[in-house]
Amino acid sequence: MRLSLSGEHTGDEYTLEDAIGKGSGDGGLPRGKLLNDFVEAVCAGDAARTATVRQEIIKGMGEAAMVDAAAVIAAFNCYPRVADATGIPLEEAKAAATEAMRTELGLDELDSRFFGRGERI
């Protein structure tokens, strides 16, 4: 499944299966594999691997791109924690708009909050 807010306008899409770890890894994006490696290294707390990938990003995309990629990883270490700890659900309109995508990717099996306030593992 290819999906992107921006892709609807520019054709610059990415593969959502890759983004949730079910695909081959590059998302079909320029430097997607490199960015995926950066996410994995940072989120795993692997300082050595992070340093290696960081240098590859700087070399291939520039220092500013590395900083902005790091900033997005940091941001998404924040949003989920706030959503998870407060039980904030997906808005009904967003849930309806993404129903087919969630079914295809099996997301509802992973997060019962899409259906309400059910208890998870």
Partner 1 sequence: MIDTSPLTVRDDLKSALTQAWSEVARTGDWLSGEQRLAIANEARNAWQCKLCQRRKEALSPYAIKGDHDHLGALPNAWVEAVHRIVTDSGRITESWYASTIAAGITEDEFIELLSLVTIVTGADTFMGAVGLPPLMLPATGEQGAPPRRRPGGAKMGPGWTPTVAPEDAGPELGDFYETGPAAYIRRALTLVPGEANRFWPLLNQLYLGNPLRVELEGVERAISRAQMEFIATRTSAYLDCFY
State which residue, 14 or 59, has the beta carbon closest to partner 1: 14
Tell me: does residue 8 bind partner 1 (CB under 8 A): yes
DSSP 59-104: HHH-HHHHHHHHHHHHHTTTHHHHHHHHTPPPPHHHHHHTHHHHHH
Region 25-44 residues binding partner 1, contact defined as CB under 8 A: 27, 29-32, 35-36, 38-40, 42-43
Between CA 121 and CA 17 the distance in angstroms is 23
**Is residue 49 at the binding interface for partner 1, with CB under 8 A as the rule?**
no
Residue type, 58: I
Provide, rounded to whole angstroms, the least separation between the CB of residue 13 and partner 1.
6
Site for partner 1 contains 72 (CB under 8 A): yes
Cβ 59 to partner 1 shortest distance, Å: 14
| 60 counts as binding partner 1 under rule CB under 8 A | no
93 binds partner 1 (CB under 8 A): no
Contact 73, 39 (CB under 8 A): yes
Contact criterion met (CB below 8 Å) for 59 and 89: no
One residue of 1, 59, 60, 71 binding partner 1 per CB under 8 A: 71
